[in-house]
Chain A
Amino acid sequence: MLPELGKYTVAVLGAYGVTLAGFALLVGASLLRHRRVKSELARLEAARRQADER
């Protein structure tokens, strides 16, 4: 249950909403790039190993 925020409901919920959205964006973007870069590096290193073996 939400606490009673009275006439400041929009300001308080807006502030928490902005913060949670900002955190979600930061964490989401960081994880997404982390996964993309990690799999790209794995692919390149596997290709390099194959080339070295030949």
Chain B
Amino acid sequence: MSFWEYANPTRFMRLSGAALPWVAGLAALSLAAGLIWGFFLTPDDFRQGSTVKIIFIHVPAAMMAINIYVMMFAASLVWLIRRHHVSALAARAAAPVGAMMTVIALLTGALWGQPMWGSPWEWDPRLTSFFVLFLFYLGYIALWAAIEDPDKAADLTSVLAMVGSVFAVLSRYAVNFWSQGLHQGASLSMDRQENVSNVFWYPLLLCIAGFFLTFLALLLLRTRTEIRARRIRALHQRMAAG
């Protein structure tokens, strides 16, 4: 069976319906385990004190904020090239989750920045590009809501997703592009020497898994809702036509 056959709404509904309870259960388990481990069972950092516990929510939220936009970019590309409705609806379903992850990353960053930097906000390259990414999320959601014709809305929002993905990449690498600003480099790296200490690293990995699985569960649920909403619209149009 071709990968593209999963883009058939009926097949997607059947498979996602079977997968959703498992994904949601795994998400709840890993999120609860990661947050409990990170909050209750890790020591204070010798420089940052107990604020290091914010890493278990700030880093996964920031990673998801960027990667959800990249997923929206990929789904939008599929829509523009192959016209699969499920991909356009999946991008639409992901956007509010990505926007919330961006808000969480910005707010937890501000709460962490106040005691560490002496300021909750600076127009630092990473913070600024993250704020612009948040505006792209809002623009994307607003554009879907503003256009009546769903195919036209999918076309225009796909173009916006393409443009915004530049900022998603920029916010990931802003610290590397400009060696200035308050924000530190990546907390996770393929190079073990650059990683945070193992005592923080393992619960952080669990929290990242929890955030990712929560996103996946919400994506499946919300895409199923969008497919049904599209069906409602089609039925209304059929009834109106007589």
Name A residues whose Cβ lies closer than 8 Å to a Cβ of B.
Answer: 3-9, 11-12, 14-16, 18-19, 22-23, 25-27, 29-31, 33-34, 37-38, 40-41, 44-45, 48
Total B residues in contact with A, Cβ cutoff 8 Å: 37
Query: What's the count of A-B pairs with C-beta under 8 Å?
Result: 88
| Residues of A contacting B169 in the complex (Cβ-Cβ under 8 angstroms) | none
Does B224 contact A3, Cβ atoms closer than 8 Å? no
User: Secondary structure at chain B's binding surface: helix, strand, loop or mixed?
Assistant: helix
A27 pairs with B218, CB closer than 8 A:
yes
Quick check: A14 and B111 within 8 Å, CB to CB? yes
Q: Is the CB of A44 within 8 A of B49?
A: no
A50 to B53, CA, bound (A): 58
Complex Cα spacing A8 to B225, Å: 41
**Could you tell me the distance between the alpha carbons of A9 and B49 in the complex, rounded to whole angstroms?**
11
Contact of A11 among B114, B214, B229 (CB under 8 A): B114
A8, B107: Cβ atoms closer than 8 Å: no
Query: Which of B50, B107, B229 is in CB contact (< 8 Å) with A18?
Result: B107
Q: Indicate if B96 sits at the interface (CB-CB under 8 A).
A: yes
Bound CA–CA A45/B218 (angstroms): 25
